[in-house]
Amino acid sequence: MFLLIFLGFYLLITIGSIVSLSKIVSKKKRTQTRNIIIGYSLFILLSFVYLFVWPQNARSTENYKWYLIYNVILSIDFIFKIPLAFSFILGLVLFRIKNTVSYFIAFIISICLGTSVLFGSLFGKNEIVINRIELEFANLPKNFNGYRIVQFSDTHLGSFLHSKKLMNKAVKNINELNPSLILFTGDLVNNFASEVNSWSETFQKINQKQNSFAILGNHDYGNYSNWTDETAKTANFDRIVDSHRELGLTLLRNENAVIKEGTDSIYIIGVENWGHPPFPQYADLDKAMKNVPENTFQILLTHDPAHWDSVVKERQDIELSLAGHTHGLQWGIKKAGINFSFSYFIRKNWGGLYSYGNSKLYVNTGLGMVGIPWRINMPGEITLITLKRVEIN
């Protein structure tokens, strides 16, 4: 069914783009234009079949290189054709309008969108933004006033294709921020433990001086690959779990840890992934909070912000939750005070700070990429959170 829908939609936008372009090119070039689009589209379809249907299968490969490259090419193809196809459909609805202005407008939009995708794939994926926020809490212990926390998330190491450019930049930025605590909110890899190979030295540069804690994300369980048997999947998962320690990260799996400053303390609570289906729900918040004293300041690490929205925020005993997962769909607007992502249409807590009563959530939009190696106006994020104590008279 998916293949039929995909083929039907692709055929529609291809025909639409051919018709629309034929309206704005000279008669001599119409046949040539049509043949170029048909030939290119056949290449796209045959490549799709080869990589995703037979003989290759995306769920059975540990080599993402050609899939990531193809996904960029396919995305540019789709995004270029859709405005042209829309103008074709609009022409049919509006009684076969002969005015070519709408086709020229669609062509210009196609060029702009295609260029933005290409730019995001070549350059945008290597950009990093540091978001600095101050959060005030009445019950923050005095010794933690001004306490600096760095959050980063969603590295998806297999998508870097062995390039360390972005992560080296992240290391430099994090160390310059001089945090007291580093928190990583999940999705270390796409699927496989082998993705962690050769990354130990890089991560150790981040974690060697600070308390560093991490949780698992939905990709860390290996659920997006076909395994020969359950034993192979379990072995892969165990290796991913062990890799956190090698990288200098203390992994919290429905557990908590205490952080002390002098005579004061706060608790870091880490749960396993919890998301709306089809995402897994492994979190056990009650278990994670075992032996955490009442009326203590608590920070929850939970990969999917849906967990906060559906379960955590009503409790009112967890002052701050940190999440990742969304990536901001790796496409949006984060400039001139505008903070928007198309992710908004599928989840309201997609990036930034949210509040409900006394409970706050910050969603980090991640450093890495998944599926498509681009970031379009949605650069990789490092968050510096400074805790402030509010004195109440």
Instruction: List pLDDT tens digits, range 342-377.
Output: 888 888 899 999 999 999 999 999 999 998 889 999
CA distance 77 to 114: 8
Q: What is the mean pLDDT of the chain?
A: 93
Of the candidate ranges 102-106, 289-293, 304-308, 320-324, the one whose mean pLDDT is the lowest: 102-106
* In the block, residue with structure tokens 């908590």: 256
pLDDT band for 393, please (50, 70, 90 cuts). Answer: low
Q: What are the structure tokens assigned to 232, written together?
A: 């192979």
Q: What tens digit of pLDDT does each residue of 106-136 get?
A: 999 999 999 999 999 999 999 999 999 999 9
Residue 96: what pLDDT? Answer: 55
Nearest to 103 by CA among 87, 81, 92: 87
Confidence of residue 95 (pLDDT cuts 50, 70, 90): low
- pLDDT score recorded for residue 98: 58
CATH 3.60.21.10 is right for the domain spanning 127-389: yes
pLDDT(155) > 70: yes
- Answer yes or no: are the C-beta atoms of 152 and 361 closer than 8 Å: no
Whether the per-residue pLDDT at 234 is higher than 60: the answer is yes
For the segment 319-347, the average pLDDT, to the nearest whole number, is 89
User: Residue 353 has what pLDDT?
Assistant: 97
- Mean pLDDT value across residues 300-309: 98
Q: Which tens digit of pLDDT belongs to each residue from 308-319?
A: 999 999 988 999
**pLDDT exceeds 70 at position 225:** yes
Residues 29-77: tens digit of each pLDDT:
999 999 999 999 999 999 999 999 888 888 888 888 899 999 999 999 9
Domain ranges in the chain are: 2-122, 127-389
Look at the block and give the residue holding tokens 């270029």: 80
The pLDDT of 334-345, averaged and rounded, is 81
> Residues 285-306: what's their mean pLDDT?
96
What is the pTM (predicted TM-score) of this model?
0.93
What percentage of the chain exceeds 90 in pLDDT? 79
For residue 334, the model assigns a pLDDT of: 74
243-275: pLDDT as tens digits: 999 999 999 999 999 999 999 999 999 999 999
For residue 333, pLDDT over 90 is answered with no
- 384 - beta bridge partners? 132, 150
Mean pLDDT of 289-307: 96
pLDDT, position 339: 83
**331 phi and psi angles, rounded to 5 deg:** -155, 120
pLDDT in the model for residue 63: 83
- Using pLDDT thresholds of 50, 70 and 90, give the confidence band for residue 1: confident
Asked if residue 97 has pLDDT above 60, the reply is no
Q: Reply yes or no on whether the pLDDT at 337 is more than 80.
A: no
For residues 241 and 235, the answer to whether their CB atoms sit within 8 Å is no
pLDDT of 295 > 60? The answer is yes
